[in-house]
C-alpha cells in the first residue's frame, strides 16, 4: 500500500520499541521476535500497544464498496468479525506486532499469478509466525494477515473453507486503519503511485 525509495532493510530492533512497550516485553523476547520476523521474510516490524491501533469505519466501507472480494471470501466482510467485535477484541490484548513486507510487481495489473504468489507468501508467513509465537508461550497470538486469503484460486465461501487451519480475517477486513496507526507511532505511509514503486503490505499479530 505504501512505498518508499530506499532499499529494503530490516529495521534495527532498538527502534521498534515504543515508549511504554519495554515494560511489557523484555529485550531478549524482542530479539527473539525480531529473528523470527526476519526468518519469515518480513522487512520491518513495529511493536504496538493495542491502544495505538486505530480502527475506522471507512476501512469497512472500502471493503463493501469497490472491492471485488466483498462477500466472496471467509477472510473478508461480511464473514470477518464486525467493527464492534474487533473493538472489543482489541481490549483483550496489550501488545501487537505490525509486520511489513516490501514487494515489487511491475505486472501488478496483468500478472495475477504473481500477485497471488506474493499474497500467499505473506499470508502463510503471518500464520506461521503466529504459530511459532504460540509455541514460545504467547498463547493468545492471533494473526490478521494482509489483504485477503488467496490460498485457493477461488475461495470456497460460503461453502466450507478448504484450509481452515490457515483461515484468518484479514487486517483490512477488521477495519484497521494502517495509515493512522503508523502515524500514531511516528511513521508515515506513502502510496505506491507508480507501477515500478515498491509497495508495502501490512499484517498484524495480536500478541499478549
Contact in structure between 13 and 34 (CB atoms under 8 Å): yes
CA 198 to chain centre: 17
Determine the Cα–Cα distance for residues 60 and 70; give it in Å rounded to an integer: 10
Among the residue ranges 109-117, 147-155, 171-179, 188-196, the one whose residues contact ligand SF4 (CB under 6 A): 147-155
Q: Is 158 in the site for ligand SF4 (CB under 6 A)?
A: no
Q: Is 174 in the site for ligand SF4 (CB under 6 A)?
A: no
**Which runs of E-coded beta strand occur in the chain?**
44-49, 95-103, 142-144, 199-206
Contact in structure between 103 and 198 (CB atoms under 8 Å): yes
Residue 30 or 79: which CB sits closer to ligand SF4?
A: 79
CB of 116 to ligand SF4, least distance (A): 10
Residue 141 or 155: which CB sits closer to ligand SF4?
A: 155
> Residues 56 to 85: which contact ligand SF4 by CB under 6 A?
73-75
Sequence length of the chain is: 208
Q: Is 127 in the site for ligand SF4 (CB under 6 A)?
A: no
CA 201 to chain centre: 7
Residue 14 or 113: which CB sits closer to ligand SF4?
A: 113
Residue 35 or 156: which CB sits closer to ligand SF4?
A: 156
Amino acid at each position: 500500500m505504501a512505498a518508499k525509495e530506499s532499499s529494503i532493510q530490516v529495521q534495527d530492533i532498538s527502534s521498534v520499541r515504543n515508549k511504554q512497550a519495554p515494560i511489557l516485553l523484555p529485550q531478549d523476547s524482542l530479539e527473539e521476535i525480531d529473528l523470527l520476523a526476519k526468518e519469515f521474510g518480513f522487512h520491518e516490524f513495529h511493536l504496538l500497544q493495542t491502544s495505538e491501533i486505530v480502527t475506522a469505519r471507512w476501512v469497512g466501507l472500502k471493503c463493501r464498496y469497490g472491492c471485488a472480494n466483498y462477500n466472496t471470501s471467509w477472510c473478508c466482510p461480511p464473514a470477518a468479525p464486525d467493527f464492534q467485535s474487533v473493538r472489543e477484541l482489541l481490549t483483550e490484548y496489550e501488545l501487537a506486532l505490525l509486520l511489513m513486507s516490501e514487494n515489487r510487481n511491475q505486472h501488478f495489473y496483468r500478472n495475477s499469478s504473481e500477485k497471488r504468489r506474493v499474497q500467499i507468501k505473506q499470508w502463510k508467513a503471518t500464520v506461521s509466525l503466529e504459530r511459532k509465537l504460540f509455541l514460545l508461550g504467547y498463547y493468545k497470538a492471533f494473526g490478521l494477515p494482509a489483504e485477503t486469503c488467496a490460498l485457493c484460486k477461488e475461495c470456497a465461501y460460503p461453502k466450507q473453507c478448504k484450509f481452515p487451519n490457515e483461515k484468518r480475517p484479514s487486517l483490512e477486513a477488521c477495519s484497521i486503519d494502517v495509515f493512522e496507526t503508523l502515524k500514531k507511532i511516528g511513521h508515515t505511509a506513502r502510496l505506491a503511485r507508480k507501477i515500478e514503486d515498491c509497495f508495502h503490505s501490512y499484517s498484524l499479530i495480536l500478541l499478549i
